């Protein structure tokens, strides 16, 4: 039997994520369009985005916040290309995005002193192996495996190396220990449900010190350059962007920040996301055919919730048949208008990935879950 109730909103994609409840294009009516981004009005909007980001996330006053090109990838690569080299670096990878940064460092930057600490989908690498005098690059939340670091306790209090953190599916959903992080990056379309365009690049004073004291031996394109004559280009971190930003996307980011403010800020976003995860957790506990991909509950993501299918019949299928079954299940739910984009990532074990960040209503998650049972039963009958 098909469940009687449908989610009011079927948007459960892990990026771009669901827009905030009540969003409409009307939210963009006040965008600074057709004007220079360097006009007084344009710069004021960019500066406001930086100020609101700082206030809502609790970014320390002495950290720089920049709006940069190329979404989260752009922000991470600016950091890797500009900062790495003077110290050995530990690269952590436990899913696709972390593995991408390993490839950058090994195959593109070709650094000599690199330790790669890897783990399979569902696990974390051994964080106790991280050393204070080495740089470390990691994702806070591995979006494609639904495994996050539980906290920052494994980063020493007196580190000499920089901690470079891709936090794109963690900010506005998880607490970040700013005092232990030197670079934090994210993009607007994740968690906040903003529009994809720009990256946010947040730098600690120690990261700035590295930028001002070290010049990498490789060429840096203009899009990556954060210093001039050995000094930080401060303008980048006050709204004088390196190149032209989208003022429409910026307005949408400001709208998302305004909504976060209106519901009670970061704490409310975390609570909403945790409630979504709790709803899924209850259902998983009562459901024989699924389990979390993350093996340790302390590392389970509350944003990109990844589920594996543990049904014996499914396990007996070959890899192609398993992937085909998941595709059918996901297609069925999309055709019913119940859930969009909830298939696991292409490189992850075949399963489901449900976005549970704060823009998703818990009632919609609750309405979705019986449909998953229905769809699984239906594809097994076909």
Where does this chain bind ligand PLP (CB under 6 A)?
Answer: 15, 71-73, 97, 139, 143, 166, 168-169, 187
For the record, the structure tokens of 242 come out as 């390196």
Query: What's the min distance (Å) between Cβ of 170 and ligand PLP?
Result: 8
Give the nearer residue to ligand PLP in terms of CB position, either 94 or 259.
94
DSSP characters for 133-198?
A: TSEEEEESEETTTTEE-S-STTS-TT-SS-EEEE-TTTTTTS---GGG-SEEEEETTSSS---SSE
Q: How far is the CB of 17 from ligand PLP (least distance, A)?
A: 9
Q: How far is the CB of 73 from ligand PLP (least distance, A)?
A: 3
The minimum distance between CB 41 and ligand PLP, in angstroms, equals 27
- The minimum distance between CB 169 and ligand PLP, in angstroms, equals 5
Tell me whether residue 119 or residue 375 sits nearer to ligand PLP (CB atom).
119
Query: How far apart (Å, rounded) are the C-alpha atoms in residues 1 and 152?
Result: 46
**Bridge partners of 306?**
353
Contact between 68 and 196 (Cβ < 8 Å): no
Indicate the residue among 143 and 374 with the shorter CB distance to ligand PLP: 143
Nearer to ligand PLP, 104 or 166 (CB): 166
Which one, 9 or 168, has the nearer CB to ligand PLP? 168
- Two tokens at 355? 């976005």
Is residue 85 a contact partner of residue 217, using CB atoms and an 8 Å limit?
Answer: yes
Half-sphere exposure of 135 (CA within 13 A, CB side): 24
Nearer to ligand PLP (CB atom), residue 106 or residue 321:
106
Helices and strands, counts by H and E, the chain: 9, 14
Which parts of the chain fold into alpha helices (H)? 40-57, 71-83, 96-103, 205-213, 247-263, 265-285, 312-315, 319-335, 362-381
- Closest distance to ligand PLP from the beta carbon of 193 (Å): 13
Compute φ and ψ for 222, nearest 5 degrees.
-55, -40
Rounded distance between C-alpha atoms, residue 255 and residue 155, angstroms: 34
For ligand PLP, the closer CB: 53 or 139? 139
Rounded Cα distance between 29 and 322, Å, is: 46
Q: Do 145 and 95 touch, CB atoms closer than 8 A?
A: yes
CB of 67 to ligand PLP, least distance (A): 13
Which of 107, 228 has the CB closer to ligand PLP?
107
Q: How far is the CB of 201 from ligand PLP (least distance, A)?
A: 12
């Amino acid at each position: 039997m098909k469940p009687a109730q449908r989610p009011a909103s079927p948007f459960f994609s892990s990026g771009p994520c669901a827009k905030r409840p009540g969003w409409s294009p009307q939210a963009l009516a006040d965008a600074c369009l057709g004007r220079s981004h360097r006009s007084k009005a344009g710069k004021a909007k960019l500066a406001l985005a930086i100020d609101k980001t700082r206030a809502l996330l609790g970014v320390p006053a002495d950290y720089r916040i920049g709006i940069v090109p190329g979404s989260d990838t752009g922000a991470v690569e600016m950091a890797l290309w500009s900062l790495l080299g003077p110290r050995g670096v530990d690269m952590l990878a436990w899913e696709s995005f972390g593995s991408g940064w390993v490839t950058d460092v090994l195959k593109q930057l070709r650094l000599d002193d690199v330790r790669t600490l890897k783990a399979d989908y569902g696990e974390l690498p051994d964080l106790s192996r991280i050393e204070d005098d080495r740089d470390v690059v990691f994702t806070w939340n591995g979006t494609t495996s639904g495994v996050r670091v539980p906290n920052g306790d494994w980063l020493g209090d007196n580190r000499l190396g920089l901690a470079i953190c891709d936090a794109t599916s963690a900010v506005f959903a998880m607490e970040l220990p700013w005092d232990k992080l030197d670079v934090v990056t994210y993009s607007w379309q994740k968690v906040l449900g903003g529009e994809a365009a720009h990256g946010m690049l947040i730098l600690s004073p120690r990261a700035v010190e590295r930028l001002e004291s070290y010049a990498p031996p490789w060429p840096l394109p203009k899009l990556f350059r954060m210093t001039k004559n050995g000094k930080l280009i401060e303008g980048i971190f006050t709204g004088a962007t390196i190149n032209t930003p989208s003022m429409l996307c910026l307005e949408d980011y400001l709208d998302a920040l305004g909504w976060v403010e209106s519901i009670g800020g970061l704490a409310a976003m975390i609570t909403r996301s945790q409630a979504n995860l709790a709803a899924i957790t209850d259902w998983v506990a009562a459901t024989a055919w699924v389990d979390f991909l993350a093996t340790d509950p302390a590392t389970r993501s509350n944003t990109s919730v990844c589920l594996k299918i543990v049904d014996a019949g499914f396990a007996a299928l070959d890899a192609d048949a398993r992937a085909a079954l998941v595709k059918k299940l996901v297609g069925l739910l999309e055709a019913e208008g119940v859930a969009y984009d909830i298939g696991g990532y292409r490189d992850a074990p075949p399963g489901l990935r449900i976005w549970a960040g704060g823009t998703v209503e818990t009632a919609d998650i609750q309405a979705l879950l019986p449909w998953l049972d229905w769809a699984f039963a239906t594809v097994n009958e076909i």
